[in-house]
Chains A and B, each alone.
Chain A
Amino acid sequence: MLGGPEDEKRLKITHRIVQEETKQALMKEDVTKVKVVLEKLLREFNSILNAVRKNDDSYENFCDLIPHAKTLINEAKTMDLIIKERAMLIVVLGWHYRKTGDDEQALDYWTELLNNQKLINALDSTNLFKARLLQKISKAYINLEGEENIRKGLRSAEDCLQIFQRDFPRNHKEIGLVFSYMGNAY
């Protein structure tokens, strides 16, 4: 029973081949259907994930969703799916890895996103998202320590500062914040 004891609360596909063949069947039917399934999953997933993230008591549930987020991001990448939820999910995944102390993994996800301008535009075309992403990246690099990483972190912080000063010169709070941690890194 699905509502039964704790050890009976997970659904599993019985075999990898079932998983692969299901994907193949959908792909053969119509590629756009694959995108529809992925879009629906990404949208619902983001809303569930964010609701769980905001609730401090459900961190365990949040962690339980992370492997699904990774799988979904890989599938979306394979299909080159350009929707804002893909970008949002990458940001959350990076946030998770930073929280668990894995800055390198966070950087892998975030730098890949930074290099995908189409995906960034899907989320925000004003450059604010890009500036904040650069801020996250620079902090993660600086946190890694070592001369090379700190140099990369400072370079990202300078790029971030350039966007803020050019496009959002009145955002003194965030500009000040970047200057502050740049100063610490120097």
Chain B
Amino acid sequence: MWINKPAQAEEEVKNKVSKDLENDQVKLLTKDNFREICLHLKRNSSVSWQLLQYMAYLDAEGISVDFIISLMGLTREELQKHVNELKRMSLVSVGGARG
């Protein structure tokens, strides 16, 4: 869920996100904390970050898992691991047919 936080709470949000990421959980995704999330991904899981980048430049209505596997040269199990990481941060979801 995206919620715009007031500017004065920015520091508080950053601290919360860092703590949440350390604790392996992010429950609230906001525009303000997105930068922190990117930083976390870049530092700790470059493949997940790359997956998110690729997804950002493709159609937002959903990408077939088989296509992503071919695109990234990953096994299904490896992809699962990175998808789980992005799901944990509420960045991606796994779902049904287009639309």
Contact = CB atoms under 8 A, between A and B. Distances in A.
Interface of A: 1-3, 6-23, 25-26, 37-38, 41, 44-45, 48, 61, 64-65, 67-68, 70-72, 75
A25 B59 contact: no
A72 B98 contact: no
A11 B94 CA distance: 5
B55 A21 contact: no
B15 interface: no
Given A11-B63, A14-B92, A48-B67, 11 more contacts: A7-B95, A8-B95, A12-B60, A18-B52, A21-B31, A22-B38, A25-B38, A26-B56, A41-B71, A48-B70, A68-B67
Interface residues of B, number: 38
B80 A21 contact: no
| Interface SS of chain A | helix
Contacts of A1: 80
B75 to A, nearest CB: 10
B51 to A, nearest CB: 8
Interface of B: 2, 29, 31, 34-35, 38, 52-68, 70-71, 76, 79-80, 83, 90-98
A45 B2 contact: no
Given A41-B57, A68-B58, A72-B58, A10 B97 contact: yes
B40 to A, nearest CB: 12
25 contacts: A6-B96, A8-B94, A8-B96, A10-B63, A10-B96, A10-B97, A10-B98, A11-B64, A11-B83, A12-B60, A12-B93, A14-B92, A15-B2, A17-B2, A18-B92, A19-B60, A21-B31, A25-B38, A44-B70, A67-B59, A67-B98, A68-B58, A68-B63, A70-B59, A71-B58
A12 B62 contact: yes
A141 to B, nearest CB: 29
B65 A9 contact: yes
A118 to B, nearest CB: 22
Nearest to A15: B2
Q: Looking at A10, A37, A41, A48, which has the most chain B CB atoms within 10 Å of its CB?
A: A10
Contacts of B95: 7-8, 10, 12
